[in-house]
Amino acid sequence: ELKVEQNPLFLSMQEGKNYTIYCNYSTTSDRLYWYRQDPGKSLESLFVLLSNGAVKQEGRLMASLDTKARLSTLHITAAVHDLSATYFCAVNRDDKIIFGKGTRLHILP
Amino acid sequence: DAMVIQNPRYQVTQFGKPVTLSCSQTLNHNVMYWYQQKSSQAPKLLFHYYDKDFNNEADTPDNFQSRRPNTSFCFLDIRSPGLGDAAMYLCATSRALLVDTSNQPQHFGDGTRLSIL
C-alpha cells in the first residue's frame, strides 16, 4: 500500500525566514505533485516533479525530488504572509494520486 | 476563466435525502475525478472516469454513485447522505490517465461544500 507522509503537519514561522517541508513516500513512484490549498478553497497545482533529481522553482518556493530516497522537499525562501496555506504533496501510483495529510503553514508578520 | 466548474458551491441537504453534485469542464479532458475532503484532512479519491469507463475505489461506499453523460459533465450522486458525508467534494480533470501524462497536473474545481442537517 502506498503511503505518503508529510513533515511537519503544522508550521508557524516568521516572515523572512527559510524553511523546508518534507514528503516521504513508501513505494516506487516517478511522479510527485505539490499543491497549495487556501482555507475553504480548492487545490492549486504548484509543481509536478517527474524524475530523480528534478528541481523546480516558482517565486519563493522550490521543490525537489529524490526518487531513490523516496523523498521530496518544498523549500520556502524568505517567507511572506501570502504563503500561508496548507501544502499537500501527492504521489502518482498507476492512475491515482495519493495525498499526504498536508502541512498547515502559518506565516507570522 | 474557470475550466473546471462545480455547482453548487454550497449544498445543504437533509439526512437521508438524495443529493447530486455537478461538475463540468471546458478542457475536453478525458479523465474526471471525484474526491472527498473532510475538514483538515487530505483529499480522498472516490472514483474516476476515463472517458466512459468508470473506476471505483475499493473503499468508496455504495452510497456514492457517479454519472458521466458526456465528456464535459460528471455528477456525484449520494443516495442517502449521512452525517459522516459532510465534506468538501472536489472534482478534477486530467488530459489522460496520470500514468500516461508527462508533466500535466490535475485541474481542480473550486469544490462543493456539503452540509447534512
Task: Provide, rounded to the nearest whole percent, the portion of chain B with pLDDT above 70.
Answer: 91
CB B27 within 8 A of CB B3: yes
* Residue A28 scores a pLDDT above 90: no
Task: Provide, rounded to the nearest whole percent, the portion of chain B with pLDDT above 90.
Answer: 79
Instruction: Say whether B107 and A100 touch across the interface (CB within 8 A).
Output: no
CB B18 within 8 A of CB B78: yes
Q: In chain A, at which residue ranges do the beta strands (DSSP E only) sit?
A: 4-7, 10-14, 19-25, 32-37, 43-49, 55-58, 61-66, 71-76, 85-93, 96-99, 103-108
- Nearest partner of A45 among B75, B89, B4, B21, judged by Cα: B4
In this structure, the strands spanning B112-116 and B10-13 are parallel
A41 touches B: beta carbon within 8 Å: yes
> How far A45 CA lies from chain B's nearest CA (Å)?
7
pLDDT < 50 stretches in chain B: none
Instruction: Say whether B108 and A44 touch across the interface (CB within 8 A).
Output: yes
In this structure, the strands spanning B31-37 and B87-94 are antiparallel
Cβ-Cβ contacts under 8 Å for B70 (sequence gap 6 or more): none
> How far A97 CA lies from chain B's nearest CA (Å)?
8
Instruction: Say whether A40 and B107 touch across the interface (CB within 8 A).
Output: no
- Tens digits of residue pLDDT in A43-97: 998 999 988 888 999 999 999 999 899 999 999 999 999 999 999 999 987 767 8
